[in-house]
């Protein structure tokens, strides 16, 4: 890996970054518009797509405070080619760009070098990665370092998963949803533990069930193809459905992490969530009473803002009072009941719960009508490029019942790497 250091130079890190920063640029990929920043010494940061270009740029500028949008440098062009090639399924590696990671500690660099040796289509656990660096007991520290990765995809932090096969967290916008999409594009078979009873444990990719009827996605695909000729053509172009359930072990911890990560770049969120976890060492699992017993000063010391402290206390209070369902209990509730109960918690909105329904609980008939990517996919396929309103999209989606979650997976594929006519920068 080409890594340039600059600690011996005079001035603060931000001053050196400002002096060396040449610019930033957006570029299209199969998962949306990414952004890259560079100096005349190499690539400094890469940001995965957020909801808008403005949010993507804000995330980039957490790493590189000052830059101007301009034509990519030679190294930035290499980074763009490397990332787009990777996400397009190209098995031939593109030339790797030079990186300017001057403020990264030496051990972090060693972890990143080691991580770069993990091949496309494979994964490694945090513990195994720590062992490869010669520090087998440093899995927790390695996890934090992976979360601080300034150049995702160039350094493939998405290939690190839990020892139990679960994806766990991901510090980029979209969290594990984004992580799963990237691994899917790489053709990676990730072992998963089905979250729901009645699933097909021999093939976890088909453990896509609701609370009453164990089913595989093949049934859903057959239904959609018979009902909708446009969807049929999309399915035949795209291939088998890669939607899979990533089971939860603790609803409280899942929502706690979701709140901490909101409105932050992945790097900042991973750091803060690591500090929150550290408050309760040597415990491995954070419980509601841990949050309630912690003082505001302790929580602020971890980097949590006042509103987020209030939100996680609200979550902990509801969990301690029995108002938050257990994972077992939540499986007995219908979708709207789950949305109604979980959105009572500060910081948890409808979209967050809808993603949990699809990817955490495997509910087959969820259509997130406010999701931009889904509406964009619909615009591309059905609406001559015109983005439908959430209400229009919800009405159109009635045709895919009772398999709207599977239809959603294909609509996300349809939206990848496409710009709508007259679409504003996102």
- List pLDDT tens digits, range 126-143: 999 999 999 988 888 999
Mean residue pLDDT of the chain comes to 82
pLDDT of 196 higher than 70: no
- Confidence at residue 10, expressed as pLDDT on a 0 to 100 scale: 38
Domain 192-243+362-426: top CATH class: mainly alpha
CATH 1.10.340.30 residue window(s) in the chain: 251-360
pLDDT of 226 higher than 70: yes
CATH 1.10.10.10 residue window(s) in the chain: 106-185
- Confidence at residue 18, expressed as pLDDT on a 0 to 100 scale: 47
Token duo for residue 333? 């509730």
pLDDT of 323 higher than 60: yes
The pLDDT confidence band at residue 27, using thresholds 50, 70 and 90, is very high
Q: Where in the sequence numbering do the catalytic residues fall?
A: 371
* Ranges 152-156, 207-211, 362-366, 394-398: which has the least confidence: 207-211
pLDDT of 198 higher than 80: no
Write down the architecture of domain 251-360 according to CATH. Orthogonal Bundle (1.10)
- Confidence at residue 378, expressed as pLDDT on a 0 to 100 scale: 96
> What does the angle CA 321 – CA 326 – CA 332 come to, to the nearest 5 degrees?
120
Give the whole-number percent of the chain exceeding pLDDT 90.
45
Query: Which comes out higher in pLDDT, residue 352 or 80?
Result: 80
CATH 3.30.160.70 residue window(s) in the chain: 13-87
CATH 1.10.1670.40 residue window(s) in the chain: 192-243+362-426
Mean pLDDT of 6-32: 62
Q: Which of 236-245, 248-257, 368-377 has the highest mean pLDDT?
A: 368-377
CA–CA distance, 253 with 285 (Å, rounded to integer): 8
CATH number for the region 106-185 comes to: 1.10.10.10
CATH number for the region 13-87 comes to: 3.30.160.70
**Alpha helices for 116-265 (secondary structure H):** 126-132, 139-147, 175-185, 217-227, 229-238, 251-261
CA–CA distance, 372 with 390 (Å, rounded to integer): 9
The number of residues making up the chain comes to 426
Q: 305-328: b or e for each residue (b if 16 or more CB lie within 10 Å)?
A: eeebbebbbbbbebbeeeebbebe
- Confidence at residue 425, expressed as pLDDT on a 0 to 100 scale: 53
Our separate counts of H helices and E strands in the chain read 20, 5
CA–CA distance, 420 with 301 (Å, rounded to integer): 44
pLDDT of 214 higher than 60: no
- Confidence at residue 258, expressed as pLDDT on a 0 to 100 scale: 81
């Amino acid at each position: 890996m080409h890594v340039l250091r600059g600690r011996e130079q005079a001035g603060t890190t931000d001053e050196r970054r400002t002096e060396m920063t040449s610019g930033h640029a957006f570029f299209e990929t199969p998962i949306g518009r990414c952004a890259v920043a560079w100096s005349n010494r190499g690539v400094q940061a890469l940001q995965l797509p957020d909801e808008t270009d403005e949010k993507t740029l804000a995330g980039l500028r957490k790493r590189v405070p000052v830059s101007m949008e301009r034509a990519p440098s030679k190294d930035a062009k290499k980074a763009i080619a490397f990332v787009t090639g990777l996400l397009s399924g190209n098995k031939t590696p593109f030339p790797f760009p030079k990186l300017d990671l001057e403020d990264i500690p030496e051990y972090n660099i060693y972890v990143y070098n080691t991580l770069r040796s993990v091949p496309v289509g494979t994964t490694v656990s945090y513990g195994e990665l720590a062992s490869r660096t010669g520090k087998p007991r440093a899995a927790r520290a390695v996890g934090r370092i992976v979360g601080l990765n300034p150049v995702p995809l160039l350094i493939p932090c998405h290939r690190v998963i839990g020892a139990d096969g679960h994806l766990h967290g991901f510090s980029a916008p979209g969290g594990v949803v984004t992580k799963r999409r990237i691994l899917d594009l790489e053709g990676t078979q990730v072992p998963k533990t089905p979250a729901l009873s009645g699933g097909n444990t021999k093939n976890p990719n088909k453990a896509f069930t609701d609370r009453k009827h164990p089913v595989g996605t093949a049934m859903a695909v057959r239904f959609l193809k018979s009902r909708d000729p446009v969807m049929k053509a999309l399915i035949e172009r795209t291939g088998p459905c890669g939607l899979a359930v990533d089971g939860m072990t603790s609803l409280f911890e899942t929502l706690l992490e979701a709140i901490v990560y909101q409105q932050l770049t992945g790097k900042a969120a991973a750091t803060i969530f690591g500090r929150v976890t550290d408050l309760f060492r040597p415990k491995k699992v954070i419980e509601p009473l841990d949050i309630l017993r912690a003082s505001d000063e302790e929580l602020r010391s971890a980097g949590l803002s006042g509103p987020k402290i209030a939100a996680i206390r609200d979550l902990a209070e509801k969990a301690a009072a029995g108002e938050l369902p257990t994972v077992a209990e939540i499986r007995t509730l219908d979708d709207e009941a789950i949305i109604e109960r979980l959105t009572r918690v500060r910081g948890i909105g409808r979209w967050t719960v809808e993603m949990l329904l699809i990817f955490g609980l495997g509910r087959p008939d969820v259509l997130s009508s406010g999701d931009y990517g889904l509406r964009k996919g619909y615009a591309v396929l059905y609406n001559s490029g015109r983005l439908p309103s959430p209400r229009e999209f919800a009405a159109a989606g009635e045709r895919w019942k009772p398999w709207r979650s599977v239809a959603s997976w294909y609509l996300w594929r349809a939206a990848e790497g496409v710009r709508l006519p007259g679409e504003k920068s996102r």
